[in-house]
Chains A and B, each alone.
Chain A
Amino acid sequence: MKWDWDVARDFLPQLGHGLLITLEATALGSILAFALGLVWAMAFRSPSRFVKWPVAAVTEFIRNTPLLVQLFFFFYVLPTWDIKFSALTTGVIALGLHYSTYTAEVYRAGIDGVPVGQWEAATALSLSRGRTWQAVILPQAIRRVVPALGNYVIAMLKDSPMLALIGVVDMLQKARGEASSSFHYIEPFTMVGIAFILIAYPASLLMRALERRLGH
């Protein structure tokens, strides 16, 4: 088998197209995972067990079942309840929800790392619970966990090809299409691999730099 530059050149626009979908799924999935994870983490700290326990049960359940199962569940089961989204939206929801159970643990570690004296000072100043979270606890907790959150963005990037299984045409899916129509395999798949590493490696370098800057 020989590398054919013409095939590679022809595939490039398609790769770009697929790359945008991959980045879109990763970015939107990340935003969802960051936001939901924060909600879970704050719920873990709720004084009410009626909040704490259900959230703990649901997040454990999601974390301990495969992303692929969740993906199929959302894609095939939700429409039977008349909840219909595009494949990409479904994929983003599944990806974001799945990873929110991991980011929740990251946030939790960050929140637990804020000294108890900070809560006590907030109480002594009569700050409301909401204000304590917003002004005192979260700014300190999130600062600590930015690098760890970043690592999950990279993990989501690498899991995004799974979305192809519900029909999202990402980079990998483009490569499969190219391969099956042109019978050239080595070029498209190699290029997809390179595209992933070109995003993921600088991203992980960035995370490491962040980690150093935030002093851990």
Chain B
Amino acid sequence: MATETDHTNPAVDGSELIRFDKVTKRFGSNIVLDDLDFSVSSGKHVTLIGPSGSGKTTILRLLMTLLKPDEGTIKVDGDYLTHEDKGGKLVPAGEKHTREVRKKIGMVFQQFNLFPNMRVLRNITEAPVHVLGLGKDEAEERARELLDLVGLGDKCDMYPTQLSGGQQQRVAIARALAMRPQVMLLDEVTSALDPELVAGVLDVLRDIAHTTDITMLCVTHEMNFARDISDDVLMFDAGRVIESGPPEKIFSEPEHERTREFLSAVL
């Protein structure tokens, strides 16, 4: 049972940025991630696919420290995320250590989660000012650039609720980028959008994927998008990676029976 899963090859492009080592996560008696090993190299765009409940979103939430693993370790850019190395012994990480490591990670949520009490511009500048210590002017200048990038340069002074879902999600992307993360986690970012708004968001993400070297870890049901931006696709089932490889291979000639079933259901 505990056989090696197919890893993405960490040596191909840049260093290893994310590593899950024998990570298990349970909710009650339900095992969501089962002794999971996998890694993502710097600069790669990796898409996680699989039936719902297969543990994809849990991976993102573990990385964002919204959940804690029951067993195993997670490393980000060489540092343990949820543990600290104290004199050669691994102990649960303190808040401060976790926050430092976590700064390298940004996340965009299915439900956007913009702060409704702040205008668009302040949604984006809040963390750069109060976490990174940027000056207000500098933070605002960068926020405006990012808003231009996502095509919302004229919405600085709006409140999130005055925007459409697609616009809100683009602000959320700008907000995540403003922290200059090394990794972006995208958690079904188009699932809550009306169909006609999906394309705008995906275009922005495509743009970022193709023009920056940010590593992306993406859970999505948009298979065309996955095919377009991914270097690697990981197929999850029952808490483990059952198949992985470049999108051409996974989508055209999947090896695993479960992958074929899943793809025929969603494509």
Residue A4 interfacial (CB < 8 Å): no
Residue B147 interfacial (CB < 8 Å): no
Q: Which of A61-69, A93-101, A123-131, A175-183 lies on the face that meets chain B?
A: A123-131
- Smallest CB–CB gap between B10 and chain A, Å? 25
Contact of B127 among A115, A120, A125, A140 (CB under 8 A): A125
Q: How far is the CA of A126 from the CA of B65 in the complex (A)?
A: 10
Q: Mark A65-79, 1 if CB is under 8 A from B, else 0.
A: 000000000000000
**Majority SS at the chain A contact face:** helix
Q: Which residues of B contact A13 (CB under 8 A)?
A: none
Closest to B106 in A: A124
Contact of A120 among B109, B126, B176 (CB under 8 A): B109
Residue B40 interfacial (CB < 8 Å): no
Q: How far is the CA of A123 from the CA of B118 in the complex (A)?
A: 17
Contact B115 A121 (CB under 8 A): yes
Contact B117 A139 (CB under 8 A): yes
Contact B66 A120 (CB under 8 A): yes
Contact A124 B107 (CB under 8 A): yes
Which chain B residues in 109-147 approach chain A with CB under 8 Å?
Answer: 109, 111, 113-118, 126-127, 130-131
Contact B64 A135 (CB under 8 A): no
Contact of B109 among A117, A135, A136, A139 (CB under 8 A): A117
Q: Which residues of B contact A125 (CB under 8 A)?
A: 106, 126-127, 131, 175-176, 179
Q: Which residues of A contact B175 (CB under 8 A)?
A: 125
- Smallest CB–CB gap between B126 and chain A, Å? 6
Contact B66 A123 (CB under 8 A): yes
Q: How far is the CA of A118 from the CA of B102 in the complex (A)?
A: 17
Residue B103 interfacial (CB < 8 Å): yes
The verdict on A121 contacting B114 (CB below 8 Å), with A126-B99, A128-B130 known, is yes
Q: How far is the CA of A60 from the CA of B65 in the complex (A)?
A: 34
Q: Mark B90-112, 1 if CB is under 8 A from A, else 0.
A: 00000000010011011101010
Closest to B108 in A: A124
Contact B130 A117 (CB under 8 A): no
Q: Which residues of A contact B115 (CB under 8 A)?
A: 118, 121, 135-136, 140
Q: How far is the CA of A70 from the CA of B113 in the complex (A)?
A: 44
Residue A17 interfacial (CB < 8 Å): no
Contact of A140 among B105, B111, B116, B130 (CB under 8 A): B116
- Smallest CB–CB gap between A132 and chain B, Å? 10
Residue A49 interfacial (CB < 8 Å): no
Contact of B117 among A117, A123, A136 (CB under 8 A): A136
The verdict on A124 contacting B130 (CB below 8 Å), with A117-B111, A136-B117 known, is no
- Smallest CB–CB gap between B115 and chain A, Å? 5
The verdict on A127 contacting B131 (CB below 8 Å), with A117-B109, A120-B66, A135-B126 known, is yes
Contact of A121 among B113, B117, B130 (CB under 8 A): B113
Q: Which residues of A contact B126 (CB under 8 A)?
A: 125, 127, 135
Contact A123 B114 (CB under 8 A): no
Residue A143 interfacial (CB < 8 Å): yes
Contact B109 A140 (CB under 8 A): no
A residues whose Cβ falls under 8 Å from a Cβ of B: 115, 117-118, 120-121, 123-128, 131, 135-136, 139-140, 143
22 contacting pairs across A/B (C-beta < 8 A): A115-B113, A118-B115, A123-B65, A124-B64, A124-B66, A124-B105, A124-B109, A124-B113, A125-B106, A125-B127, A125-B131, A125-B175, A125-B176, A126-B99, A127-B126, A127-B127, A128-B131, A131-B131, A135-B126, A136-B117, A140-B116, A143-B117
